[in-house]
Structure 1
């Protein structure tokens, strides 16, 4: 059950009493994003440029993405970051890392990609094969591991960790049967690959209920539209959101300014394409078990009245 806006904002206000208010004032904010050219790095560069327009100093850190970003926030190497919802909720609810959320950003779609002439037509067909699950430290790898675990395949899958570009090359050479990717639709790099090497996406929506029972409501059914990646029909898959997160001890004023900038400049950010995803204030506070930072909650209260 999704909590009401009032419940979320009141809960974050209560958290404020325990928030130290320390942080990055007097030095640059460090924004952890993702690999060079990837959607998190591109979005992060745009967001950093808008924050700089407010007078803040911001440095963009290229990383392996979600899991790496959460670790950097927890140990003080970063102040802000982008992360998939399932990775962020695991960091807070299971590993108890001192991380809070500023906003739920947009929807990511889990892509399980095979070549068009592959004999694999369902997740069960991966049994006994080699599959790339994403880069080390990425949120894609976390999601892919969970998908393969709940799929209960007849034989083990050999799981290898690869960046997206390496996955393209390995698939074309026949070294892997398929690869996982989590991103907006269409992901430009995957769209370009599909023009050179026709692909299919494996439907994964049948695993959503099992994932939700095991890990909570961070997963939902999502549909990749027909025409994406030259697909003839829509493909139902798994969706999970991206969060903008921060250190729990980031000052309330910085958290407020960051959140306000996110929405006042959203038309300039051009968040990754994602049918059904949206950078919207009512959508943004739905950050599950990752608490809203009190500074972000103050921004949303100012909007809601």
Structure 2
């Protein structure tokens, strides 16, 4: 699917030959890349697609289930989607053409800073894991292929002095929902997942009969990681009681989320998307609690991590943000 296409009065054949940003358009199709169904991107993306489709004349916005941020930036670069939910670290790599994007940079541009994504290292009391180094010799999942969870997990594992290829009894690449089911079935000891909170897969695990949820602290590794990969991560706390059975605060590593597009998206369209999204933020908050954290004070250049789309920069300045 083309990320954003427009159909003119000349019909589909003519639209196929036209540029994606054809000036004369009656309909606009916008594919939004989100993430796995067990996270926050997917439901929040569904709410956003609904909001845009209802409030921008001629727009039909749809959501795509994906592996996550890395895949989303790749899809954006390939023109298969028009807008993405993404972690800042993945988009920084995409813009700079490094790591998974080596030799294939993507001109990602931020249009809004959303909520914070929290790295969550999830296990159960029965597994006997109390610190990150206890994962050695265990069966773990480092996240779905193409996810920013996998990138962030690898960086955290490295900082803890573990070898991702040698130090685990088994290393799976599962979605959060699959990971939760694997723990329930006795096939997995722990998993990494980066998302807003609460997230349904971890809530499901904590609420399961006979299981006591355990969240592993790891904020101590943030300085070592940022020294190597840049100041895109920061320590935060997931308060006790966020999940069923979570009796203590979880000291963890976080990264900001952004909505992003290519630098080629027309200014007028970016402005329309932001007007509708900003005015409908209360509706997004009803879709998921993290929607409440889409606020004016978060619209900072440092938090965005990648360059602003010029129309987004103008929009937020007009709203009074001190970028």
Band of TM-score, shorter chain: 0.7 to 0.9
Tell me whether 1:199 sits opposite 2:213 in the alignment. yes
Match of 2:201 in 1: 189
SS at match of 2:126: coil
Compared CA separation, residues 89 and 295, structure 1 to 2 (3 A): same
TM-score by length of 1: 0.86
Match of 2:66 in 1: 63
Match of 2:86 in 1: 83
Question: Following the alignment from structure 1 to structure 2, what is the Cα–Cα distance between the partners of residues 298 and 199?
Answer: 45
Question: Following the alignment from structure 1 to structure 2, what is the Cα–Cα distance between the partners of residues 109 and 100?
Answer: 22
TM-score by length of 2: 0.82
Q: Which runs of 5+ in 2 are unaligned?
A: 1-18
After TM superposition, the structure 1 = structure 2 runs for residues 85-100 of structure 1, keeping only pairs within 5 Å, are 85-93=88-96, 94=98, 95=101, 96-100=105-109
Could you say which structure has the larger radius of gyration? 2
SS at match of 1:223: strand
After TM superposition, the structure 1 = structure 2 runs for residues 212-251 of structure 1, keeping only pairs within 5 Å, are 212-229=226-243, 230-251=245-266
1:25-83 deviation line (CA, Å, top 9, x unaligned): 63311111122353211111111111112222212222122111111110100110101
Shift in Å, 1:134: 0.8
Q: What is the aligned-residue RMSD (CA, Å)?
A: 2.2
Match of 1:74 in 2: 77
Match of 1:178 in 2: 190
Count how many residue pairs are aligned between Structure 1 and Structure 2: 284
Match of 1:295 in 2: 311
Larger mean Cα displacement after TM superposition, 71-80 or 116-125: 116-125
Match of 1:17 in 2: none
Match of 2:153 in 1: 144
2:32 and 2:64 in contact (8 A); partners too: yes
Compared CA separation, residues 78 and 274, structure 1 to 2 (3 A): closer
- Which structure is higher in RCO with an 8 Å CA cutoff and minimum separation 6? 1
Q: Which runs of 5+ in 1 are unaligned?
A: 1-20
